Chain A
Amino acid sequence: MELFSIFFGAILINNFVLHYFLGICPFLGVSKKIDAAMSMGLAVTFVMSITAVVSWVINHWILIPYGLDYLQIVSFILVIASLVQLVEMFVRKTSPPLYQAMGIYLPLITVNCAIMGLALLSALKNYNFIEAVVFGVGSGLGFTLAIVLMAAIREQLDLADVPEPLKGAGIALIVAGIMALAFLGFSGVIK
């Protein structure tokens, strides 16, 4: 039950983009086409799930036992950067079609604050191992949901007559605001 609420909470209520404001750069940058948004979401979910595992292990087996938790920031960012590199090489070797689908998005993920945010938030919330993994997968799926919905709206928006100064980032942010409002409706669904 606990895991269930963490999972759906991460997707719908504490959505990374619409609640924590994490991963706004790709959310605005890669949301012009649905299939690109889908690949970005897939790549983020993938890296987030792995990050959840690795950052938990580092935090609980190395940093906390040796009293090094002030090194959290430095170690998490280095781990994430090298992890993304490894994942990129691994995917390129093992699955060319998958690499085709999310290749160019992988390097971009290094500086995606959603990944770092995931590592920090799950350390902050003191999740145990299983909870941290569920939280990671849920957050990734939540990000995917938000970015795909956003891309779907923006594809329609191309046809609309938007006032000149609002074009681009302006209207995208306002759409995101309205989406955040809609997602507010989910709060209270899960205690």
Chain B
Amino acid sequence: MPTKTATQEFLKGLWEENPIFRQILGMCPTLAVTNAVINGLAMGLATSFVLVFSSFLISLIKKLIPSQVRIASYIVVIASFVTIADRVLAAYFWDISKALGPYVPLIVVNCNILGRAEAFASKNKVGRSVMDALGVSAGFILALLVLSSIREVLGSGTFLGYRVLGSWFEPWTIMVLPAGGFITLGILMAISIQLERKRKER
């Protein structure tokens, strides 16, 4: 992949290698926290923080890690950043931390992060790895925002807590429940596949 410029490394994460719609990785937090936009956003930012910093660090120390124990070392690096993110959220944003519950610590088993570490950061220079991580993060946040906006607007009639649909609107409670998450993501997935097919035809 050395032919790609840094910008291309960033952009590919947004669509071509979008973690959720294209690679179907990291689904658990995606579905669990997207019942409100603020939760989706917080989760996206926390995951991005972990992804970018662990890609940076892993890429920096990749020569020092023997290849037999690399997966275990990556997990320790990732778990350390997740602990930082978890503690910071709990200290400064208690409400969000409470709403996200166990899903912040669960960032550690988000297959995206280990996937990027193994597939990209361990083979590429620091700058390039950070660009790649930023791109994947942006794609992840984008997907979380789309999903959580649909679910919050239809499920509670609000957006970021502000009422956007008038009082005539009867909220579809199903959308904030797990079932709504699965169905919305299924439909979004179909739309993204359809868009990709149209793009390929051109």
A positions within 8 Å CB-CB of B? 18-25, 28, 70-74, 77-78, 81, 111-113, 116-117, 120-121, 124, 163-166, 169-174, 176-178, 180-181, 184
Contacts and interface: CB of A to CB of B under 8 A. Distances in A.
**Most chain-A Cβ atoms within 10 A of its Cβ — which of B83, B87, B109, B174?**
B109
Contacts of A124: 101-102
B102 A120 contact: yes
Contact of B197 (A22, A113, A165, A176): A165
Contacts of A70: 83, 87
B114 A111 contact: yes
Contact of B32 (A20, A166, A177): A20
Q: Which secondary structure dominates where chain A touches chain B? A: helix
Interface string B12-34: 00000000000011011101100
A20 to B, nearest CB: 7
17 contacts: A24-B27, A24-B31, A72-B105, A77-B108, A78-B72, A78-B76, A81-B75, A165-B191, A165-B193, A166-B190, A170-B190, A172-B186, A173-B183, A174-B186, A174-B187, A177-B178, A180-B178
B142 interface: no
Given A111-B111, A180-B177, A184-B179, 9 more contacts: A24-B28, A73-B82, A73-B86, A77-B79, A113-B109, A124-B101, A164-B197, A173-B182, A174-B183
Interface of B: 24-25, 27-29, 31-32, 72, 75-76, 79-80, 82-83, 86-87, 101-102, 105-106, 108-111, 114, 174, 177-183, 185-187, 189-191, 193-194, 197
Contacts of B31: 21, 24
Contact of A177 (B108, B181, B193, B197): B181
Q: Which secondary structure dominates where chain B touches chain A? A: helix
Given A166-B190, A174-B187, A112 B109 contact: yes
Contacts of A113: 28, 106, 109-110
Contact of B185 (A164, A173, A181): A173
Contacts of A176: 182, 186
